[in-house]
Amino acid sequence: MNGILNGFVDTAVQCWGCAVFDNLFRVVSNAGAAVYEKIANICFFVFFALFAFFILWAIWKHINPKKPDTSDPFFLKSVGRVVINSLFALTLLGIGVGFPRFITRITFEPVADITLVYSHAILNTIPEAVNTRVTYQPMKMENTGLYRPKLRDTVISIMKTTVTLFQSFMKLGIAIMEEAFTWRNILSIGDIFRHILIFFVGLYLFYGFFKLFLRFCFYFVDVIIAMGMFAFMFPIALMMMSFKGGDMPEWMSSIGKGLGANQIKKLINAIITLGSAVITYMVILVIIARFFSDSGTTVNGLMDAITSGTVMAEDLSESNLATLTLGGTIILVYVLNYIYAQIPQVTKMILDTFGVEEENKLSEQMADDAEKLVGLVKNSIKSVGQTIVNGGEKKDTGDKPKEGGKDDKGGKDDKGGGKK
């Protein structure tokens, strides 16, 4: 079983989203750089229009007959501050695409690098080992876009590292299922049921983490959306920075906040969310490795075998399985099911520790829609299959009138009429 199913995992559980992310990354990066200058030119005109409105608003506040504001008679807090800010902001805006490239280099790239290094450290792996198990390699990309190729390569490496964790859990499930077929310790009927339950523990791990892997394939969507929003909104955010700190209307300050720091934070959150699965699922891995290790030994050996994808049935503790009671197996299934259900809460708790919000709302929605689509296709295939089996005839599930329903009554009348 190990050889056949492990081959399936190595072939099927690859980075399905990497190629799509690679193409979309290049599109967003090149498009962002191409239109940056045009958006910047528009922002200059918008700034002067808003600045004129801002001056009129500041004057009106000063001469308002109902409630005049005399705290700033020389407009130093309002107009003066905006003039100083605008000299700085518009100068950066005029530099061109080089400035947002610099911002991405000092913000997003270090975050992605740290996330990748942390993921490798937790899994005790190296880039070469990841590339051996997940074979996708990024396509060639010119270094002329708004985002550097290094950011793309790092994000893809994070995705590939996380995929190796899904491979590890699925191979662990295969090893547990194979161990359930070893009948050396079966001495009673209860032992048979115990091994059947152990088989379903392995099947649960295999199927459950395959479903999680399919959902993870959509997680790159939030990164791409955040990248696109940052690329196209950055010139506007830079222009709105001119009004920061000034005594301005509330709607102007809300625009600047929504387009500026929030967009940077969203992209950082989306990148970290890609690697958060590694931290979350390691909690489950430690519990499982502890259970299937021999008493009095460390779990390091088994965990290394699991995370490297080389775990076999022989690596699991036979003594623990031999002494496990039927009730203990049921409790193990319950604990695994409970931990599986707590994955979203554990992820949120870990991200909150680092002050990061989970940024995968769109990807989760797409994963839900994909599951619904698969369900519809499955039901359609089932319906077509039933139609073929039945020879095109539909089963009549309605209530048919009994033979001679109304006619019987008529017949009784005829019978009654014969007695006249």
Residue 242 banded pLDDT, cuts 50, 70, 90 = confident
pLDDT at 152: 94
Where along the chain do its domains lie? 2-374
Residue 418 banded pLDDT, cuts 50, 70, 90 = very low
Residue 258 banded pLDDT, cuts 50, 70, 90 = low
pLDDT at 415: 47
3-class SS string, the chain = CHHHHHHHHHHHCCCHHHHHHHHHHHHHHHHHHHHHHHHHHHHHHHHHHHHHHHHHHHHHHHHCCCCCCCCCCCCHHHHHHHHHHHHHHHHHHHHCCHHHHHHHHHCHHHHHHHHHHHHHHHHCCCHHHHHHHCCCCCCCCCCCCCCCHHHHHHHHHHHHHHHHHHHHHHHHHHHHHHHHCCCCCCCCHHHHHHHHHHHHHHHHHHHHHHHHHHHHCCCHHHHHHHHHHHHHHHHHHHHHHHHCCCCCCHHHHHHHHHHCHHHHHHHHHHHHHHHHHHHHHHHHHHHHHHHCCCCCCCCHHHHHHHHCCCCCHHHCCHHHHHHCCHHHHHHHHHHHHHHHHCHHHHHHHHHHHCCCCCCCHHHHHHHHHHHHHHHHHHHHHHHHHHHHHCCCCCCCCCCCCCCCHHHHHHHHHHHHHHCC
Over residues 137-180, the pLDDT tens digits come to 999 998 888 999 999 999 999 999 989 988 988 888 888 888 77
Highest mean pLDDT among 65-74, 119-128, 258-267: 119-128
